[in-house]
């Protein structure tokens, strides 16, 4: 990686994270390969500055990384799970030390606000803490055999080499959601981050390598390859990856799922969301407004859990519309490292063009703009990546509404009748990640959470769609992919189940009473 002339504070930040002058795009831990593949340039969407350029990994680099990972797995899988957990605990400690600089780098390279950057690193710390406790609780079950003097039980073993393909919008947290659990389960990991955010990935790899070296963890347990889609496709088709975890668009996820499925591998998919909030007549608007506004404009609408649709009962529709529009007038947009701003830029100019195109499609289909955002001009927005957010009155059946626009575009949809009508509108999209209802009616809230309610993987009452706690399993249904990461029993995807039967008698009774006379 060749660093360019950047702001002195950012240069100091990169130095603090151990990112010095180099030209590396692949690593098996503390060992970095001098790669000469496609050059990826990392620009900050906050000011348009070229932060650095990184030479990507080639196919031969990929083969070298996989070979080292396979070798490392042979020894890592034999380390007791609590010992593996101790290494992850130390990673959490190290992340606490690096929280400020890493959070700032996330903000500078990706464009989310500094507070959100810090929050992302905190998610990494939290999942490390969760994984440490989990390392002593990878429980199976003891089962009763139908044969006398027999014992049955099931247990879990590591899978092997886990592939992780992550997106730009959460450039470090999603990696840690996967690795912290996979490592305590005894797997080794190969990470292909988004080519739009290579520096945060390099920083994480260096931090992990520092901890692993201190604990004599073999090279190849934590691996990094920076590349375009080519090596992501290779990972999906590679039988040496029993599991590929992929975060990104539905289009990308379908390609990964098809490739992995053809070889009967396992995939963990976290894909697009078209998340809705239902607002019923009894809703407390003091809760609604901040929840909706943050959900819609946080990370400039570039969260898979961002609020896209607001389904409002007709009796309070105008009141809610006016309140949301007024709140949008107070949103401050600017440098994400300046904590006085609420919203930073989109990731790049392509994202800006996609956003502007979506607004035009809304109007072409008959939508009415309540707040029409657009590209921001001026010296403070010279990167060309800043936009102001939009609100539009639409029908749920509009073609553009049926698709996820990864930008701060909020749709207002009116419903009449009871909450069943609102739930039907909410569920009538192809995606199924996050959902929420604001109500003070216990029957409405319980219905929303029932089998006849929200069809999403996440369903909230009186909080928004955006954000999730580490302790719960994160993921969605339908075209969101059906995967689960982070808390609860999400660890099981990283392991294989084995059923064992032990005969401690002097005879060999067969199951179902079958007898052979010899």
Provide φ and ψ at 397, rounded to 5°: -80, -5
Q: Give exposure, 17-32, as e/b (b: 16+ Cβ within 10 Å).
A: bebeeeebbbbbbeeb
* Strand pairing report for 485-486 and 473-474: antiparallel
What is the spatial distance between Cα 453 and Cα 424, in angstroms, rounded to a whole number? Answer: 8
What is the spatial distance between Cα 182 and Cα 180, in angstroms, rounded to a whole number? Answer: 6
Which of 270, 404, 444, 485 is labelled catalytic? Answer: 270
Which of 128, 204, 304, 385 is labelled catalytic? Answer: 304
Residue with tokens 């009415």: 368
**118-124 long-range contacts, CB within 8 A, separation 24+:** 120/170, 120/171, 120/172, 120/173, 121/95, 121/172, 121/173, 123/173, 123/176, 123/177, 123/470, 124/92, 124/95, 124/172, 124/173, 124/176, 124/180
Q: Residue 400's closest CA among 369, 422, 439? A: 369
Q: Does 304 qualify as catalytic in the annotation?
A: yes
Other Cβ atoms within 10 Å of 1 Cβ, number:
23
Could you tell me the CA-to-CA distances from 377 to 49, 113, 254 in Å, in that order?
Answer: 17, 20, 37
CB 477 within 8 A of CB 324: no
Question: From edge to edge, which strands make up the β-sheet containing 24-27?
Answer: 32-34, 24-27, 222-225, 188-192, 161-165, 243-247, 266-270
Angle at 298 between CA 295 and CA 300, to 5 degrees: 120
What is the spatial distance between Cα 285 and Cα 292, in angstroms, rounded to a whole number? Answer: 10
What is the spatial distance between Cα 368 and Cα 412, in angstroms, rounded to a whole number? Answer: 10
Q: How far is C-alpha 400 from the geometric centre of its chain's CA atoms?
A: 24
Other Cβ atoms within 10 Å of 103 Cβ, number:
23
**38-43 long-range contacts, CB within 8 A, separation 24+:** 38/227, 38/228, 40/195, 40/198, 40/226, 40/228, 42/109, 42/196, 42/197, 42/198, 42/199, 43/348, 43/383
Distance spanning both ends of the chain, measured CA to CA: 72
DSSP string, 325-356: HHHHTT--BS-TTSTT-SB---SSHHHHHHHH
What is the spatial distance between Cα 134 and Cα 13, in angstroms, rounded to a whole number? Answer: 33
Provide the strand spans (E) within 199-306: 222-225, 243-247, 266-270, 275-279
The encoded tokens of residue 238 equal 């590679």
* Strand pairing report for 50-55 and 39-43: antiparallel
Q: Does 21 qualify as catalytic in the annotation?
A: no
Helix (H) or strand (E) holding 324: helix 317-328
Known catalytic residues? 270, 304
């Amino acid at each position: 990686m060749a660093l360019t002339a950047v702001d002195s504070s950012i240069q100091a930040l990169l130095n603090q994270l151990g990112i010095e002058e180099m030209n590396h795009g692949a690593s098996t831990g503390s060992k970095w390969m001098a790669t000469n593949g496609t050059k990826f340039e990392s620009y900050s969407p906050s000011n348009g500055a070229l932060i650095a350029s990184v030479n990507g990994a080639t196919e031969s680099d990929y083969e070298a990384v996989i070979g080292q990972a396979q070798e490392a797995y042979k020894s890592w899988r034999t380390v007791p799970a609590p010992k593996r957990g101790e290494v992850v605990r130390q990673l959490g400690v190290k992340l606490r030390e690096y929280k400020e600089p890493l959070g700032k780098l996330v903000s500078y390279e990706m464009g989310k606000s500094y507070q959100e950057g810090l929050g992302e690193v905190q998610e990494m710390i939290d999942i490390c803490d969760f994984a440490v406790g989990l390392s002593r609780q990878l429980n199976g079950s003891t089962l009763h055999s139908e044969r006398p003097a027999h014992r049955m039980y099931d247990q879990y073993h590591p899978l092997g080499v886990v592939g992780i393909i992550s997106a730009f919008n959460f450039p470090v947290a999603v990696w840690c959601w996967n690795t912290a659990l996979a490592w305590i389960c005894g797997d080794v990991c190969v990470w292909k981050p988004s080519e739009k955010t290579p520096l945060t990935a390099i920083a994480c790899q260096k931090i992990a390598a520092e901890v692993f070296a201190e604990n004599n963890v073999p090279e190849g347990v934590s691996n990094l390859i920076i590349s375009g889609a080519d090596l992501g496709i290779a990972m999906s088709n590679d039988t040496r990856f029993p599991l590929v975890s992929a975060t990104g668009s539905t289009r990308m996820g379908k390609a990964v799922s098809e490739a992995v499925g053809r070889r009967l591998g396992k995939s963990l998919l976290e894909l697009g969301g078209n998340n809705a909030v239902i607002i019923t007549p009894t809703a407390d608007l003091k809760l609604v407004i901040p929840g909706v506004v943050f959900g819609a404009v946080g990370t400039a609408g570039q969260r898979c859990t961002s609020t896209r649709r607001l389904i409002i009962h007709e009796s309070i529709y105008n009141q809610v519309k006016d309140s949301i529009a007024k709140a949008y007038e107070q949103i401050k947009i600017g440098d994400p490292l300046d904590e006085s701003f609420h919203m930073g830029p989109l990731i790049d100019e392509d994202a800006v063009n996609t956003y502007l195109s979506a607004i035009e499609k809304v109007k072409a289909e008959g939508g009415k703009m309540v707040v029409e955002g657009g590209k921001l001009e001026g010296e403070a927005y010279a990167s060309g990546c800043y936009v102001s957010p939009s609100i539009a009155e639409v029908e749920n059946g509009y073609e553009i509404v049926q698709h996820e626009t990864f930008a701060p575009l909020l749709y207002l949809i009116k419903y009449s009748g009871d909450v069943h009508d609102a739930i039907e509108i909410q569920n009538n999209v192809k995606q199924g990640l996050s959902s929420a209802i604001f109500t003070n009616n216990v029957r409405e809230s319980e219905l929303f959470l029932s089998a006849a309610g929200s069809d999403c993987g996440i369903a909230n009452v009186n909080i928004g769609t955006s954000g999730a706690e580490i302790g719960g399993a994160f993921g969605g249904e339908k075209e969101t992919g059906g995967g689960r990461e982070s808390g609860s029993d999400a660890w099981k995807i990283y392991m294989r189940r084995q059923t064992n039967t032990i005969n401690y008698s002097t005879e060999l009774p067969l199951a179902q009473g079958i007898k052979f006379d010899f």
